[in-house]
Amino acid sequence: MHATPFLTFPPGGSWGAADAMNAYVDLFGGHIVTDRRRGADEPGEEGSVLMAEFVVAGQRFRCSDSAVAHEWTFTPAVSVWVDCASREEQQHVFTTLAREGKQHMPLDDYGFGPFGWVEDRFGVNWQLAVTEKG
């Protein structure tokens, strides 16, 4: 058995699964494993992501552009935790993700070390900490 986080992007948004996947691979490093796009005869917008898989920061994700409108989108209650190697790396990642997004908790020390919580422009939430070296 294996669990993989899955990101569903609603139709009609200004950003889609391919935009997010490429931005994450660019920011965190990693690679796209598979990228299957919809054809003309499939439900949804032709060329949109039917199913893709990518790896960033050592974590495998799957994503898709939904062909169906839903009453929900991403929620801050579910987020991706990232252990950064340094404050500089944390600052870079936070600043990049916050661009056109929302800061839920600005970078600071909240009593458990350097931390920040941000929602990126795609609606995905990230909690960024600095790994303690001990």
List the chain domain ranges: 6-65, 80-130
Confidence class for position 92, pLDDT limits 50, 70, 90: very high
The domain defined by 6-65 carries CATH number 3.50.50.60 = no
pLDDT at 121 over 90: yes
* DSSP, res 78: S
Number of neighbours of residue 109 by Cβ within 10 angstroms: 9
The CATH architecture to which 80-130 belongs is: 2-Layer Sandwich (3.30)
Show the tokens assigned to 68.
């169906």
Q: Is 105 strand, coil or helix?
A: strand
Residue 41: its pLDDT value, please?
A: 94
6-65 and 80-130 share one CATH topology?
A: yes
Backbone angles phi, psi at 72, to 5 degrees: -130, 165
Neighbours of 8 (CB within 10 A): 15
pLDDT confidence of 133, banded at 50, 70, 90?
low
Task: Return the sign of the alpha-carbon dihedral for residues 124, 58, 81, 92.
Answer: negative
Q: Report the share of the chain in percent with pLDDT over 90.
A: 85
Average pLDDT of the residues in 80-90: 96
> What digits encode the pLDDT tens for the residues 2-36?
999 999 999 877 789 999 999 999 999 999 999 99
**How confident is residue 134, by pLDDT bands cut at 50, 70 and 90?**
very low
